[in-house]
Amino acid sequence: MKEPNCSIARSLEVLGERWTFLILREALSGATRFAQFREALGIAPDVLTDRLSTLVEYGVLAASRTRSRAAAHGSRTG
């Protein structure tokens, strides 16, 4: 499929999905963790992963690494 030359058409390719605006709303409201988005939106994990990946790929959101689950729950290994 040919890339659209129009900036509006290109933007809609990234932002046009139903869940995308809801994800952006939650991000602007302070959600930063996958679980926060899931809890607030009730979205399936595979759909959320796909939408977040697209938003990161196009520079709308930035991904950041967090502590491991064990560290987040105060657990230690070793």
pLDDT digits (tens, 9 = 90+) for 3-56: 667 877 777 677 767 889 899 999 999 999 999 999 999 999 999 999 999 999
The CB density around residue 10, as the number of other CB atoms within 10 Å, is: 13
pTM value is 0.69
Length of the chain: 78
Q: What is the pLDDT of residue 76?
A: 46
Q: What is the pLDDT of residue 5?
A: 77
CB-CB contact of 29 with 21 (8 Å): no
Please, where are the H alpha helices in the chain? Answer: 7-15, 18-28, 34-41, 45-57, 69-72
At position 55, the amino acid (one-letter code) is L
Report the alpha-carbon distance of residue 78 to residue 76 in Å, rounded: 7
Q: What is the pLDDT of residue 10?
A: 72
Top pLDDT among 27 and 1 is at 27
